[in-house]
Structure 1
Amino acid sequence: MAPDTDSPRVEPPIRWSGRVSLTTRILAVNVFALAVLAGGFFYLETYRARLIDFRIARAVRELSLVDEALAIAPPAEVPAMLSRMARKTGTRLRLYGPDGALRVDSWRISGANYTLRDPAEEAWQRHAARFLDRAIDFVARARTPHDYVEPEPDRAAAWPELREALRAGRPVGAESFAPDRTFMITAAAPAGNGALLMTTNARDVTRIVRAERFRVGLLLLVVAALSVALSFFLARTIVRPLRRLARAAVRVRLGRDREVTVPRLPRRRDEIGSLAQALSDMTQALRHRIDATDAFAADVTHELKNPLASLRSAADALQRVSDPEQRAQLMAIIQDDVRRLDRLITDIAEASRLDAELSRARFEGIDLGRVIETIVRAREMRGPNPRGVQVAFARPRVDTAVVRGDEFRLARIVENLLDNAISFSPPGGLVQITATRSGPEVIVRVEDEGPGVPAELRESIFRRFTSVRSDEDASHSGLGLAIARAIADGHGGTLEVETRDERPAGAAFILRLPAAGER
């Protein structure tokens, strides 16, 4: 039968992924998914930057409000007002005079409301946290502010933020790192003839970001563990059965084991299970074909030995016999053996290449009625056969017995069935052939008036070199029915034999083929 798909003549080049094992590729895909999840750290950096910017903007607004309040407050109440505002906002407020000297410091009035921690006095866990902060900031390319340093002496000119605010004439804000790498928020603004400075330690920002990082990291670890476990599970359920199938296929290819068992994996209902069953069925079919080839070779050897032995004996005797009558008999034997060998070789060649030719054949619509009519007419034009057997064919209506197939091969089935029926028919007998459409099938019947086929032999007669003839006939090789059934199988049909219904003797060969358009 013509193949459904054609394999490419040139194998496409193997991409780099084709050189990597399935296990590695499964892990790579899952690791890629983890990398996408790890991108959450980059989002946290963006979140932290927005949070710091918000705190700076809030500090600038608060400092502007403080400046407005100081502008309308009596000078004597300014220190107390700065102290109260510092306690409410959790900041340190400083007021500098026109000469840049520090006039009022909220810490000197009400005490410190935040503490700058010394990293040298902290536990190792804090050092580990800061190390992770630096590593993540390096990977995420986070912005790195300058370190916060209290100037000595504390004057307005020593603060970069105050210098910029006085130069721009408006409030400005900035961020910096405290010694323990928490954020310091600084806001500066002109205030009358002097300047205002607000500082605060935004330790809560670092605490919030670290807590979110911990949650993301914990989630990443859990997902990573699950991903690796699932990767190895997939590798176990995919790669391991594929390796078993590959090892079995290698054993089949090497041919070291006569009976190689390809695992069928019956419990799997996925594509690998289908592949395993297909490979197992393919291996069994290949083994059956090899066995059939071996048996065919043995049968060919056996069938060729008989006429060759007869031919050799006749040729040897011909050299020793001088009687013309005996020499004529020996020559007749030799000619009969030569014809038999010629028929054997012809049928053997056709039987051996039949499968390959059917696999390459292109099927088309064939009217079996027209094919049979052509065969019967050609036989009539050659004249009556030596046995006087008549062939009767009831031509069906045109295009009612149409099948898809190779016309030459389908004609060969009919020829072989007619030859078989004529050879078994008695002298002057009648062979009837019909072709009818029955539902999705086209049925061809060839009936003779011969002795029929015993029930126990109705399958064996379709085997190669099998015959129920009682005499040796050089015109029959024992391959005709085997070739006919092989062609029927290649067309998706069947060929069977049964006893004729209306008579006690005779055989009826029934060929069933799918009608065109029914496949």
Structure 2
Amino acid sequence: MADGKIKRRAMARHGSKYFGSRIARLIFASNLAGLAILIIGAMVLNEMRAGFVVSKKQDLVAQAQIFTSLLGDDATTPAPSLDVEAARQTIVRLNLPERVRARIYLPDGDLVGDSFYLSERVDVDALRPLQEPSSFAKMGAELSEWAGKTFGPIMPRRSSEALRAQSFEQEFDIAVKGKEAASQRFSDRGQRVISVSMPIQRVSAVVGVLTLESNDIDEIIRAERAALVPFIGVAVLVAFITSFLLTLGIARPLRRLSLAADRIRAGSSDGIDIPSLTTRRDEIGNLAASMQSMTEALLERIEANEQFAADVAHELKNPLTSIRSAVETAERVQDDPVASDRLRQVIAQDVKRLDRLITDISNASRLEAEMTRVPNEQMDIAGFVQDVVRTYDAFADEEDAVTVQFRDDTMGARLLVRGREGPLGQVVRNLIDNARSFSPDGGVVMVRVDQSNDGPQTIARICVEDNGPGIPDDKLETIFSRFYTDRPKGTAFGNNSGLGLSIVKQIIATHRGKVWAENRDEGGARFIVDLPAI
């Protein structure tokens, strides 16, 4: 069940990479939200500005058409030519808006009338004091210039298409040829103006040019900037809120995990107990669950190592105690050759037992590291087991030797499993050696490979059978414990360390398989290993 949970978490982590990640979507959405508001606001204001410029131009064109028609009727002579005095009187009679200025030019470019002077209007705008621009203003200007160059190609161009930036001379040259001209430029006082020039005609002859200018664009721009302030405020507020939420949703949980890990490292806690994080359905929850599972696995490993160390100390102490007793007794029976010889045999057997114990303990300790270093590969399990069995053919010629036979019950099916040759070979050899040690002289150990099913999963089954005394029913599970040994009668002392079956169980568990023992009806024991087939 634990393995299933780990696999589901791994699948969830693999399925939520990149933009499928919930936290990634949250980070991207929150960071782009404020920028999106500013971009939308800027685009909306730019559209408003473009629309207003177009409307202003159309309004000036409509006024200029009316005024030139009026001037063509009242201020021209049949010559044809422009009646300068009548033209001036006509400008005076026009009710022009405060921010609109009208000028009349002769075809040669001479100014003959200006509404600002003829109406005796005085511009009372206060001049701003001269001062050095602040660093903030300079930075804003540079940022504005950069933004214009960067985003200019993708921003709407309705205003630039409606009015081109050109000089008055260029505009006048177009109008004096009988065409309508419009442009935007800066006046002699530095004000941005929209200008429309229209020819004054007598029949088809151009007798003069009327120019209308509107200089309220700067006020419009200032109003637009003021209108952008709420958008900026909302963007800042959204950025603050999202930053706060990210802090609550990501930074604080990670901090809690860090503190929990520090507590475990310092030994003040035995596990990561943060249920509010492990229930989250995102990467933080996956991380918390993985850290909790990792901590539990590490604690289990530590406990297992402590238990293993205690078992090793106990198993090593028994032969050492026996050797010490034999040495002390040998000093007292030096004059008895028979007793001395028997004590030497005891010492030799205990030394052999110690050697076997140390070898098996070393193999068991290296097993886990080897399992992580050696990669998995596809294996034909029947052929692999048969190759291992063939290594025992050399023992068949010995007198009263236990023979090992192989049988393939898969009917030629090529069962493939994914595993590591070294550890799986050790599993088969440990089971065969265990069966041979319990078999009588001249007995037979049968190794079979069969095929089974566990629901939809195909199973490769390895059976190792002997015709020995069997296993007590209450020991069928205990025999897989570390250092458990029930040495059969007649077996040489020191040949069993009690680690063989424990190693088998550990290797099979890492291959996601199962191993168990049972007694045969006809006598003897049967060990069964199930491995998932590809």
Using structure 1 for the length normalisation, give the TM-score. Answer: 0.71
Which residues of 2 match residues 318-337 of structure 1 at below 5 A?
318-320=330-332, 321-337=334-350
Match of 1:379 among 392, 401, 405: 392
Letter in 2 for 1:482: S
Task: Name the structure 1 match of 2:480.
Answer: 462
Match of 1:244 among 245, 252, 256: 256
1:306 aligns with 2:318: yes
Task: Name the structure 2 match of 1:71.
Answer: 76
Cα distance change of structure 1 residues 462 and 137 upon mapping to structure 2, 3 Å threshold? same
Cα distance change of structure 1 residues 72 and 403 upon mapping to structure 2, 3 Å threshold? same
Distance in 1 (alpha carbons) for counterparts of 2:211 and 2:231: 39
Letter in 1 for 2:528: I
Task: Name the structure 2 match of 1:140.
Answer: 144
Match of 2:90 among 61, 81, 87: 81
Which residues of 2 match residues 19-38 of structure 1 at below 5 A?
36=39
CA deviation after TM superposition for structure 1 residue 259, in Å: 0.4
Cα distance change of structure 1 residues 324 and 65 upon mapping to structure 2, 3 Å threshold? farther
Task: Name the structure 2 match of 1:431.
Answer: 445
Match of 1:481 among 501, 524, 527: 501
Distance in 2 (alpha carbons) for counterparts of 1:485 and 1:348: 15
Task: Name the structure 2 match of 1:497.
Answer: 517
CA contact (8 A) 1:56 1:174 kept: no
Which residues of 2 match residues 1-400 of structure 1 at below 5 A?
36=39, 40=43, 43=46, 47=50, 54=57, 58=61, 62=65, 68-69=72-73, 70-72=75-77, 75=83, 77-87=86-96, 91-93=100-102, 116=123, 118=125, 140=144, 198=211, 201-203=214-216, 205-206=217-218, 208-252=220-264, 254-263=265-274, 265-320=277-332, 321-383=334-396, 389=402, 391-396=404-409, 397=411, 400=414
Q: Which runs of 5+ in 2 are unaligned?
A: 1-6, 8-25, 128-135, 149-166
CA contact (8 A) 1:60 1:188 kept: no
Task: Name the structure 2 match of 1:448.
Answer: 466
Cα distance change of structure 1 residues 165 and 108 upon mapping to structure 2, 3 Å threshold? closer
SS at match of 1:496: strand
Using structure 2 for the length normalisation, give the TM-score. Answer: 0.69
CA contact (8 A) 1:93 1:197 kept: yes
Letter in 2 for 1:294: E
1:26-54 alpha-carbon deviations (Å, 9 max, x no partner): 98766665665675599479849965994
CA contact (8 A) 2:69 2:200 kept: no
Q: Which runs of 5+ in 1 are unaligned?
A: 5-22, 121-131, 144-159
Distance in 2 (alpha carbons) for counterparts of 1:137 and 1:86: 39
Cα distance change of structure 1 residues 315 and 269 upon mapping to structure 2, 3 Å threshold? same
CA contact (8 A) 2:171 2:183 kept: no
Distance in 2 (alpha carbons) for counterparts of 1:389 and 1:193: 128
1:107-129 alpha-carbon deviations (Å, 9 max, x no partner): 798x68x8856459xxxxxxxxx
Cα distance change of structure 1 residues 251 and 35 upon mapping to structure 2, 3 Å threshold? farther
SS at match of 1:269: coil
Distance in 2 (alpha carbons) for counterparts of 1:487 and 1:108: 105
Distance in 1 (alpha carbons) for counterparts of 2:308 and 2:399: 32
Distance in 2 (alpha carbons) for counterparts of 1:186 and 1:324: 135
CA contact (8 A) 1:60 1:173 kept: no
Letter in 2 for 1:497: A
SS at match of 1:308: helix
CA deviation after TM superposition for structure 1 residue 292, in Å: 1.1
Cα distance change of structure 1 residues 461 and 209 upon mapping to structure 2, 3 Å threshold? same
Task: Name the structure 2 match of 1:512.
Answer: 530
Cα distance change of structure 1 residues 386 and 357 upon mapping to structure 2, 3 Å threshold? farther
1:400-424 alpha-carbon deviations (Å, 9 max, x no partner): 3443333332222122112222333
CA deviation after TM superposition for structure 1 residue 351, in Å: 0.3
CA contact (8 A) 1:161 1:188 kept: no
CA contact (8 A) 2:27 2:246 kept: no
Task: Name the structure 2 match of 1:148.
Answer: none
RMSD: 4.9
Distance in 2 (alpha carbons) for counterparts of 1:89 and 1:450: 119
Cα distance change of structure 1 residues 194 and 137 upon mapping to structure 2, 3 Å threshold? farther
